[in-house]
Structure 1
Amino acid sequence: MADVIVLGGGIIGVSTAIHLAQRGRSVVLVDRRGPGQETSFGNAGLIQREGVVPYGFPQQLTLLLRYALNNRIDAHYHIKNLPGQVAFLARYWWNSNAKRHQMIAKLYAPLIEHSISEHSALIEAADAQHLIRKTGWMQSFRTQAAMDEEVREAERLQRESGIAFHAIGGDDLARMEPNLTQRFVGAVRWADPWSVLDPYALTQAYVALLQKLGGRVVIGDAMTLAAGPKGGWQVTTEEGPVEGQDVVVALGPWSDKLTSKLGYWFPLGVKRGYHMHYSTKSGATLNNWLLDTERGYFLAPMSRGIRLTTGAEFASRDAPKTPVQLERAEKVARTVLRLGKRLDAEPWMGARPCTPDMMPIIGAAPRHEGIWFAFGHAHHGLTLGPVTGRVIAEAMAGEKPFIDISAYRPERFLA
């Protein structure tokens, strides 16, 4: 029998397994496909130290009306799925009002504050420095009004949270990115974040570290979780039944499928997203991770090529792909950078697990001895993997977590 079964091989589950193994626990990581092949595979590749304010639901009526037209890149929704999402979206909207959003951001900030330092420790231990760039990322702007608004917000974050940024004029941006074919009025460069050349490769490097520490990785079905014949818990895997004294549920957007079987009804929603890689024409290069802020898509110079990522799609988690945002984004992106052919056979799609208060669920299951929860990280799964892994491993070991995790406890959603 292992000490711990970690269910879910994304960045959260892998990081948690590493921290448990570092504390001398025998760990089995169970995933249905293999580590890093679901949501952690596709993202913009940012460790967002600046992301102390979680992404809220728009509050302005004029902006909501524009989103209602359903023709944007940064957000898209499936009309037929809206009835099933109304309750989640209503709570998300309510928590995003200015007063509550500000309070939530203060509770959320400690996780973000340690995102770089906790990744740094694992990156060094996994010898994965070659996958990391420490040059921050940039938001580009098409209008001065939009840039001025973001600079004011950046100045506030600098005052209150010590977040470093630089305002860059249009001429300087053109010198930094000479291959852009769109003239921007300027950019905000967030200096603190790190970027990842290949998020999947980083997850695999962390998996190798886990195995070096003695952890096992097996293919299995988390939904078979049941009480073990000798106490503890058991799941079915390709290698037969695996037993463990404790279990960590880190299944990302699928977590509620298992927790509902256990009798926990969490209001977990999803924001789906897409990406595609491209070659470039005429030797064009992109030097920085770049957000076209007013259009709502991201360009990232990844190992495989230029990765274009979209915003949020509000749809059923398991509905067929509808990459309309990617089609819209590609048309605009081709006017910004000389993109060549698509390098992927089809658009990649993933689902971000979201809670209506924008904070993850981290802590012990209230009614089951030996079950722990670690999911609901929304847009910041990659960012928060190692810090989440550390705090939950500390709690499981009976240590006092190095930051207060009471705000993320599962009980806040349970009657």
Structure 2
Amino acid sequence: MSAIPEARRYDAIVLGAGIVGVSAAYHLFRRHRSVLLVDRAEPGEATSYGNSGVVEREGFHPIVFPRRLGALMRYARNDEPALHYHLGHLPAVSGFLWKLRAQSAPARLAEYGEAMNPILSHAAAEHGQMAAKARAVEYFRGTGWLRGWRSREAFATEAAPLIAACERYGVKYEVLDGHDVTDLEPDLAPVFARALFLPETVSVSSPGGVTKSYARLFEAMGGAFAHGDALTLRHERELWRVELADGAATAPDVIVALGPWSMDLLRPLGYRFPFAVKRGYHQHFRARGDAALARPVVDMAHGYVLTPMRQGYRITTGIEFARRDAPPTPVQIARVVPQARALFPLGEPVEPEPWMGARPCLPDSLPIVGPAPRHPGLWLDFGHGHLGFTLGPATGRLLAELITREMPFVDPAPFSAVRF
């Protein structure tokens, strides 16, 4: 990508070129702002590359702290596929976990659903609008996705809140039995006793490819991209300045969209949000013979997603609590691969080692989108947790509307930084 003249002035600088930052840059540029997008790497190569590529419609229930003693003891053994932790890291996340426990109360979960429904109802359309302009529609599948349970008892207990939320918010769903599942996906083994089919959820064959397409669209429109170090950001003479690989840039507005690296910049500025990073892994596999899947499948008992990607069939794992930059410990991949092989005829892995990424999370599972409380011209767009790919274009639009003082298309109050 092209270099930029030294100390060039922009209306806005967006720090971070994942799906969240690219979307914010795009929406600001559409509103006639000159925008510079800055990252150390190329767009779409970090968290935006390694997710399950799903644009959820029914994301009304976040990951919660286990409230039953049996579940808590099971996770404490540290041998569950859905959760792995580094024992030495637990003191560092204890405050986050305590707040997560409080946010897992039923009343809080109801508030979460009320806050999320308006923006989730726009998520697929916001992607669609950008994808059409970016010529990225080829990545998208309107085939919905499956959430499968291996026992009727687990389905009755665990699916009930999701079904109730779908009915409350008018989201389509179908309850399938084992025969229905194999009718829909003939190459799945009959291991699910019950499943939910969510037809309004959209998925993609390459989330990294989608993000790169959106970034190319932003540049083709006239936006600028540069490599630079976000941690060089400083405030001088009512402008924000960031050092680039070739020169520097200034702007009155700067957007922090650094995902799991956001607090590296914000802590020195005095912000103490209850932030944690959840690491995750994926690996691609070939299918045996001519086996195929048309849509992502969630194995609810084992906490992984199996989804068709351009690189192969991607298995994404659950949560790992560890230092963000600690060496990878992909034990969860090893735990779920046998379960995935029992579900679908997977062949050999495409890559020799699993990929590792990090999810930026807040205990109420809502992102922060809006102005920083104490620094004029500093804007925040991070903390999307497990819904970053889903929400990136929608929160990018919301942030751009706030910066340009338009009427926001959804209520921004639930996403305000002042809630902390």
TM score, norm. by length of structure 2 = 0.95
Q: 1:331 aligned to 2:338?
A: yes
* Cα pair 1:182 1:335 within 8 Å, conserved: no
1:250-296, CA deviations, whole angstroms, 9 ceiling, x for partnerless residues? 00011011011111111110111100000111222222211111121
Alignment partners' CA distance in 1, 2:44 and 2:185: 31
TM score, norm. by length of structure 1 = 0.96
What is the match of residue 33 of structure 2? 25
What is the match of residue 17 of structure 2? 9
What is the match of residue 123 of structure 2? 115
Alignment partners' CA distance in 2, 1:184 and 1:134: 23
The ranges of structure 1 where at least 4 consecutive aligned residues each deviate by more than 4 angstroms after the TM superposition are none
Alignment partners' CA distance in 2, 1:183 and 1:112: 30
* Cα pair 1:53 1:108 within 8 Å, conserved: no
* Cα pair 1:151 1:167 within 8 Å, conserved: no
Per mean C-alpha deviation after superposition, the further-off stretch among 52-61 and 380-389 is 52-61
* Cα pair 1:53 1:109 within 8 Å, conserved: no
- Which of 89, 100, 103 is matched with 1:92 structurally? 100
Q: Specify the SS of the correspondent of 2:11.
A: strand
AA at the equivalent of 2:330: P
Alignment partners' CA distance in 2, 1:400 and 1:181: 50
Question: Residues 306-345 of structure 1 correspond to what in structure 2 (within 5 A)?
Answer: 306-345=313-352
Question: Residues 18-167 of structure 1 correspond to what in structure 2 (within 5 A)?
Answer: 18-167=26-175
Q: 1:400 aligned to 2:407?
A: yes
Q: Which runs of 5+ in 2 are unaligned?
A: 1-8
Alignment partners' CA distance in 1, 2:393 and 2:278: 22
Question: Residues 155-304 of structure 1 correspond to what in structure 2 (within 5 A)?
Answer: 155-228=163-236, 231-304=238-311
Alignment partners' CA distance in 1, 2:394 and 2:362: 18
AA at the equivalent of 1:146: A
Alignment partners' CA distance in 1, 2:293 and 2:166: 27
Per mean C-alpha deviation after superposition, the further-off stretch among 326-335 and 152-161 is 152-161
- CA 345–33 in structure 1, closer or farther in 2 if over 3 Å, else same: farther
- How far apart are 1:151 and its partner, in Å? 4.5
- Aligned sequence identity (%): 43
Alignment partners' CA distance in 2, 1:248 and 1:151: 38
* Cα pair 1:74 1:325 within 8 Å, conserved: yes
Alignment partners' CA distance in 1, 2:197 and 2:336: 22
* Cα pair 1:154 1:165 within 8 Å, conserved: no
- How far apart are 1:371 and its partner, in Å? 0.7
Alignment partners' CA distance in 2, 1:312 and 1:216: 35
Q: Specify the SS of the correspondent of 1:271.
A: strand
Per mean C-alpha deviation after superposition, the further-off stretch among 371-380 and 280-289 is 280-289
The size of the alignment, in residue pairs, is 412
Alignment partners' CA distance in 2, 1:152 and 1:369: 45
Question: Residues 368-383 of structure 1 correspond to what in structure 2 (within 5 A)?
Answer: 368-383=375-390
Q: Which runs of 5+ in 1 are unaligned?
A: none
